[in-house]
Amino acid sequence: MDWEDAFPMATRTKAPVTADLAVRYGGLEPEALIRAFRVMHTSRRLDDREILLKRQNRIFFQISGAGHEAISAAAGTALRAGRDWFYPYYRDRAMCLALGVTPAEMLLTAVGAGADVASGGRQMPSHWGAPRLNIVSQSSPTGTQFLQAIGCAEATRHLDPSSDAVTLVTSGDGATSEGEFWEALNAACLDRLPVVFVIENNGFAISVPLEKQTAGGNIAKLVSGFPGLAIEEVDGCDFVASYQAVRQAAEYVRSGQGPALVHATCIRPYSHSLSDEEKLYKTDEERAAEAARDPIVKFPEWLVQEGVLDRYALQVLVHDIDLEIQAATEAALNAAPPPAGSALLHLYSDRVDPCSDAFATPPQFAGDPRTMVDEINLTLAEEMRRNPQIVIFGEDVADCSREDHLRKLKGKGGVFKATHGLQKKFGSERVFNTPLAEAAIAGRAIGMATRGMKPVAEIQFFDYIWPAMMQIRDELASMRWRSNGGFACPAVLRVAIGGYLSGGAVYHSQCGEVEFTHIPGLRVVFPSNALDACGLLRTALRADDPVLFLEHKRLYREPYNRSAHPGPDFLIPFGRASVVKGGRSLTIVTFGALVQKSLLAAIDIEKRDSSVSIEILDLRTLAPYDWEAIRRSVEKTSRVLIAHEDCLSWGYGAEIAARIASELFDRLDAPVGRVGALDTWVGYHPQLEAEILPQVDTIVREAEKVLRY
């Protein structure tokens, strides 16, 4: 039932609305004020009902929006469901109700029902999400939503330049201590993006008070120096004032002048969650002061005083809300849980299968052999022509950010030239530099991909990917699963990785791919040659899943791994290994830079012993990996060695070795061999680097050990 027709009796006023009253009501009609009260009171009643259910052990977690109802409902009232875009945080129950999420849907989330529209029972309560309303699936990490909102706003500008849609992102004051908040503000102001930030300041970040969280105690003052940022400060317990503040902020943003921030001071009359006890750190006096500002008490008193509602109509409206919540509670408690066998549903796309034969297309070779980096560049250009939603961004990826200098300069196009010339070909709207902020690069890509774009974001060196880890692990890879298929995030992250380049040392030579193959929902690709780089990158760009595309720096320009261009439709399916060399005595499972080293090791061993022949499998993709190819080869050779560049202990090869031991033990004639780097950092001096990273003779020694067994 729509709020407008929820209870006609409650819309009676004692006097007609005059121009003076319209100003006093913030431009809202009485019906809108009554609707706001219904939203706010429903929000509090839902919190109270969930608290009761949690204490009865009928739900499993509870976190409330109590005290935030006025600013939250105001934000939902001032903006447009299904047209604007929303990145709420867990206290925004009232906003989601105002946008159109129903009490019944919220209680289905609380019980973890399979019919829960936000996540299908996969997320905690108050982790909002509603595709039909443009409420993007919320996660638990604080502050990650800011950067995704930036990407969402950029997508609005790209997909429909004439649109006046804004992106709203909210948080508590505590989350403004996260670096992602500041990175988001910087990006929003640099590009004058249509983003409204609403900071709901209730004075505490769990138990940490404002004065220990925010310098000076006022985030609005701290951000006042950002150029083009409109700032509104408001009593977040006053619905009408909050509505006016959010509306003014939205109007500023819609006018194209830049982003806006609303700093709303509110209260938190309940503990942080039912896992917290606020009496341990809040005095009775503090709690009494909060109660005196409670919008659920103050707003209906004001409505009666203004003659918008009489007390009888108010009582009837409250009773109607209670009946609705009771009915919704009974239905939710009887709702079925997520069905058995559904745990892996929506982990990956059900629309596009990049492992299928649809992605196995033959090459149509033309031209001279090209390096791997040249093939990456050409493949990106071909796919950008094919798909106008592809954008490329990161640090130094553009030819020149100062467009008026483009004609005078050759252009940079990446520190390894992988994107050279693409800005000149496709324009600065599609190929552009970003601030030096890896989390921002990944977060913006997530926001864009959620909107249907195909962002190709570059992390300049794998060694510097770690600031983006929260965005990659907890956001990018989980988006489809945690929203139960409601949202997808098929971004591509290109990352230069690996050593064997003299002088790279600790921070320009590391591997660490195993940290990412352990993440559900993320595809991880690691080509070893130009041909595979072309086919696998094209598959990544046409797939519907997030992909981490690892490009080994040493392999960018090697003479031995070059290939003629295989054509604009050449694709390689994920999860299919390549048999680089056939053999019957030993299988070497490897990838990346160790493919060539394994080949040289095999040639050396076979030259000295003609009775030995070694098979080499290049995995090409690490998640998924081609178990069937490994199984077939090991069953044939009965001996296996796994070689990778990363540290040996807890490395990628450990999982394959364990699976071989578990499933193929009876086919083995020797223990599984492993080769990897020493368990330390990569050193600067070439001799030290050579000692640390696996070399051809390292593989030879381990292979001969397995062969001798």
Q: At what angle do helices 239-254 and 30-55 cross, to 10 degrees?
A: 110
| Residue found by looking up tokens 């600790």 in the block | 506
Tally Cβ neighbours within 10 Å of residue 482. Answer: 24
The DSSP secondary structure of 171-211, one letter per residue, reads EESGGGGSHHHHHHHHHHHHTT--EEEEEEE-SEETTEEGG
Burial of 216 (0-12, 13-18, 19+ CB in 10 A): exposed
Q: Is 508 assigned a catalytic role?
A: yes
- Structure-block tokens of residue 436: 């030096």
Other C-beta atoms within 10 Å of 14: how many? 11
- DSSP, residue by residue, 384-432: HHH-TTEEEEETT-SS-SSGGGGGGS----STTSTTTTHHHHH-TTTEE
CA distance 52 to 57: 9
DSSP line for 255-323: TTS--EEEEEE----S-SSTT--GGGTS-HHHHHHHHTT-HHHHHHHHHHHHTSS-HHHHHHHHHHHHH
List phi, psi (to 5°) of 171.
-165, 170
- Strands (DSSP E) along 504-585, which ranges? 523-525, 547-552, 563-565, 578-581
User: Distance between CA 480 and CA 490 in Å, rounded?
Assistant: 9
Residue 448: Cβ-neighbour burial (10 angstroms; 0-12, 13-18, 19+): buried
Q: How far is it, in rounded angstroms, from Cα 133 to Cα 150? A: 18
- The DSSP letter of residue 691 is H
List 508, 552, 565, 644, catalytic entry: 508
- Residue holding tokens 């030096």? 436
Q: Which residues are catalytic?
A: 508
